[in-house]
Structure 1
Amino acid sequence: MLKTISKKEIEKRLFFDNPWWKNNGYIDKCYQDFPKRAYFSSFYKLVQQDINRAIVLMGPRRVGKTVMAFQAIDALLTEGISPYNVLYISLETPLYTGMALEKIVNMFQDIHQHSRQEKLFIIFDEIQYLPKWEIHLKSLVDSYSTYQFIATGSAAAALKLKSKESGAGRFTDFLLPPLTFSEYLAFIKKEDTLITTDGEIFSVIDIEALNAEFINYLNYGGYPEAVLSITAQKDSARYIKSDIIDKVLLRDLPSIYGIADVQELNALFTTIAYNTGNEISLESLSQSSGVSKSTIKKYLTYLEAAFLIKTVHRVDINAKTFKRATRFKVYLTNPSMRAALFGTIEEGDEAMGSLVETAIFSQWLHIDNRLHYARWSDGEVDIVNTLNNECVEIKWSDLVVKDARKLKSFIQYIKQNKILNNTVTTKTISQERIINDTLIEFLPSALYAYKLGKNILKH
């Protein structure tokens, strides 16, 4: 007869995973020493709120969700929460496979003699590994109104879709995106030496040095671990491809959606990654990847829900969306993924334009703004934000400042829609100019990316 895992073994593992129960109330030093993401304070405010909802911390692989969970535990312990009132478990641990969440909570209650009325903090890491997790989690939230439940997960397709379906009124989603450019500079401790701040006005101290770091950011800067590890930087292609892309494409998505042909999914993602920021159609994707249009539609949904890509739809000259959208743009959520697949990028490379556009687009990821691009018979605008009455033209060149003809479509769109906020990015130039009775703000792409990340976090 086969042996089953004993209660004693599970308890032993719980003590191992929660060292603060024995370690004078401290988390492991590696988590204490790791720099905090700029999103930490917003996330921690949710943890502190006394409302009967679970927090679902979502995001791509390797952006620091587990670290943020441990840093939240550290903050709770520092504030005086009893170490015995905090439980952390990773559902990726084989020992917990097949266990109901409530059974784990009950064991936690038994170990420390907790009542149903106490204020407890319970963190389920990598929750997507539990089938029907959303039903289990909702049941716990309903049953234990004083317990604060926090779940993290990276195969966000299951998370995003199911948290909306089954957790109505019971879950608060919090998206942790890849590192913004402003966070990247803070992590490498170069923010103050490259940028000056006066209120909400940002200026460059050394544009050449800022651009050099921006190119590093394009190559490996979206992932905290790669930024802080020289080893990961030297072999960023292997680190990002094997540990981030492959695990999502070959493991997470196939296991969640029952995808049989992983090579088909891989071929589609490779095609999209190479064409990040370009306008494409289902027909062109089908021809270049060899995957049928109906399957592509399905896969695009999966890839977007797993935070690998972002689909952006077109508006016309009047900022109106199309009823039947046949063409669209797809961006990688992190430009470093393209470098991992096709080699690192240098400042003069042909792909710089689309990668700069991808990087700027990725700064917007945390907020669900109405971002589109505009295209009509004889014109195009790279980014249109219909919510903020804003448009952006992205260039990795200074020629656009000297040649007003290159902005004909941009100015036409501004006048047609009475746009109040407009920016044209450059390689090195910062200035304001009036062209055809229109005030245009020119900013270096690297500075604009920095400004976006900073302002989105503020607001």
Structure 2
Amino acid sequence: MVMMRIIPRESKLRVERLLARAPAVVLTGPRQVGKTTLALDIARERGAAYLDLERPSDRAKLADVDAYCRRNAERLVVFDEIQRVPGLFEPLRGVIDRRRRDGRRTGHFLFLGSASIDLLRQSGETLAGRVAYCEMTSLNVGEVGAERLDDLWSRGGFPESLEAGDDADSFEWRLDFIQTYLERDIPALGPRIPSETLRRFWTMLAHNQGQTFNAAGLAKSLSLSGVTVARYLDLMVDLLLVRRLVSWRGNLGRRLVKAPKTYLRDSGVCHALLGIESLDSLLGHPVAGSSWEGLVIENIASALPAHASLGYYRTVGGAEVDLVIEAGAGEIWAVEIKRSTAPRISRGFHSACEDLRPARKLVVYPGLERFSLGRDIEAVPLSEVRAEFS
């Protein structure tokens, strides 16, 4: 058996900072991304109480929530898989308010959950003004190191996939991950969707990685309605498995492509759905360019401050930027993503920059050195690009 090394996670520092300023923190992220490992680490350091709400024995401890919280009044309490007991937020609001009146204002509860939108809505409605949020993504290049970039791209950023003994073990883990989501996790959240239908939809998204979302085309292929396909996409976005990158809608008087682009957020899962088992197979596959694009976007997104937003820009005339970042105060950054170690800039990017007038123009590529491409455009290695936004 290969022992998996422990990789320090950036999310830990963010969670600790939030616990220092808020009564409650919600940590979201897909299953197996490392939330529980991170929470147990924090719990061990702080002497916190930990409850796994998938266990009936731990749920039974909350038969009287107030009594449980009184017994643990001086401790951080971690609730794992909080979406299993959504009604828990209501009594905990009263606990937080009593403690705040008594002078204890921060660091009461840490909630962990795998589904995003419903969890954020439930907690936001009930704990308004009392809760902060952190999303834990799969591993990024800053956490694993530039020397492991090819592994990160090929295997994805789920720790057990990345750290598997060989490509075959990693691939098998990802296939099991997909099957578990289809057969257990998604049905447990409520949606009654045939697992084989959802697998086909998920696989079609992988084939169309980085393409504009064509609901009508997917619906025809799946013999479903466009409304149903859109609902499937909402579900995958909610589960933090798919990123919906919206079209940038600045008021420039241009005719823009308006449909969102979709990316499977973990490159390794994308490759598993397509049957790509190794880096050699990936390099010769048509999805390689768009898969690399998705990896770059996820690495950048994980480094952005909360107020920043992402989109893409494309006009019907061919002007295009892979990633538009609104960094705040009206500042726009234009990011082009190239898999080549000798990137070349298209006319469409130059044309788009004339429209957008970005403060920064970057080309992210898989090399090791920064260099100028002229016209205020800089090529930046992926291993360094996240520092641009910190």
Residue by residue over 1:200-224, the C-alpha shift from the partner in whole angstroms, topping out at 9 and shown as x without a partner, is xxxxxxxxxx5xx322111224012
Aligned-residue offset at 1:316: 6.6
- Cα distance change of structure 1 residues 240 and 139 upon mapping to structure 2, 3 Å threshold: farther
Residue by residue over 1:77-105, the C-alpha shift from the partner in whole angstroms, topping out at 9 and shown as x without a partner, is xxxxxx4xx311111113234x4736266
Residue by residue over 1:203-251, the C-alpha shift from the partner in whole angstroms, topping out at 9 and shown as x without a partner, is xxxxxxx5xx3221112240123333426x53222212323x3333333
Q: 1 CA distance for matches of 2:310 and 2:149?
A: 23
Q: Identity percentage over the alignment? A: 24
- Cα distance change of structure 1 residues 264 and 349 upon mapping to structure 2, 3 Å threshold: closer
- Cα distance change of structure 1 residues 308 and 137 upon mapping to structure 2, 3 Å threshold: farther
- Cα distance change of structure 1 residues 143 and 288 upon mapping to structure 2, 3 Å threshold: farther
Aligned partner of residue 425 in structure 1, secondary structure: strand
Q: 2 CA distance for matches of 1:252 and 1:427?
A: 35
Where does residue 73 of structure 1 map in the other structure?
43
Equivalence map 1:291-306=2 (5 Å): 291-306=224-239
Q: 1 CA distance for matches of 2:251 and 2:66?
A: 55
Q: 2 CA distance for matches of 1:132 and 1:184?
A: 38
Aligned partner of residue 376 in structure 2, secondary structure: strand
Q: 2 CA distance for matches of 1:173 and 1:327?
A: 28
Matched, 1:386 2:320: no
Which of 67, 79, 85 is the equivalent residue of 1:106?
Answer: 67
| Alignment check: 8 A CA contact 2:244 2:261 kept | yes
Question: How many residue pairs align between the two structures?
Answer: 371
Matched, 1:43 2:15: yes
Task: Calculate the TM-score normalised by the size of structure 1.
Answer: 0.72
Which of 62, 77, 86 is the equivalent residue of 1:122?
Answer: 77
Aligned partner of residue 32 in structure 2, secondary structure: coil
Q: 2 CA distance for matches of 1:37 and 1:416?
A: 38
| Alignment check: 8 A CA contact 2:323 2:335 kept | yes
| Alignment check: 8 A CA contact 2:247 2:258 kept | no
Matched, 1:57 2:27: yes
Matched, 1:417 2:353: no
| Alignment check: 8 A CA contact 2:215 2:226 kept | yes
Which of 364, 380, 397 is the equivalent residue of 2:340?
Answer: 397
Where does residue 53 of structure 2 map in the other structure?
91
Matched, 1:441 2:381: no
Q: 246-255 or 119-128: which moved more?
A: 246-255
Q: 1 CA distance for matches of 2:255 and 2:79?
A: 42
Structure ID, larger Rg = 1
Aligned-residue offset at 1:410: 0.8
Which of 174, 177, 181 is the equivalent residue of 1:240?
Answer: 174
Aligned-residue offset at 1:358: 0.4
Aligned partner of residue 422 in structure 1, secondary structure: strand
Aligned-residue Cα RMSD (Å) equals: 2.9
Q: 1 CA distance for matches of 2:141 and 2:13?
A: 18
Q: 2 CA distance for matches of 1:256 and 1:39?
A: 25
| Alignment check: 8 A CA contact 2:138 2:266 kept | yes
Q: 1 CA distance for matches of 2:238 and 2:385?
A: 23
Equivalence map 1:309-328=2 (5 Å): 309-315=242-248, 327-328=259-260
Question: What is the identity, as a one-letter code, of the residue corresponding to 2:165?
Answer: I
Matched, 1:275 2:186: no
Matched, 1:359 2:314: no
Q: 2 CA distance for matches of 1:317 and 1:48?
A: 37
Aligned-residue offset at 1:430: 4.1
Aligned-residue offset at 1:409: 1.2
Aligned-residue offset at 1:426: 3.9
Question: What is the identity, as a one-letter code, of the residue corresponding to 1:415?
Answer: E
| Alignment check: 8 A CA contact 1:382 1:394 kept | yes
Unmatched segments (≥5 aa) in structure 2:
none
Where does residue 149 of structure 1 map in the other structure?
109
Question: What is the identity, as a one-letter code, of the residue corresponding to 2:358?
Answer: I
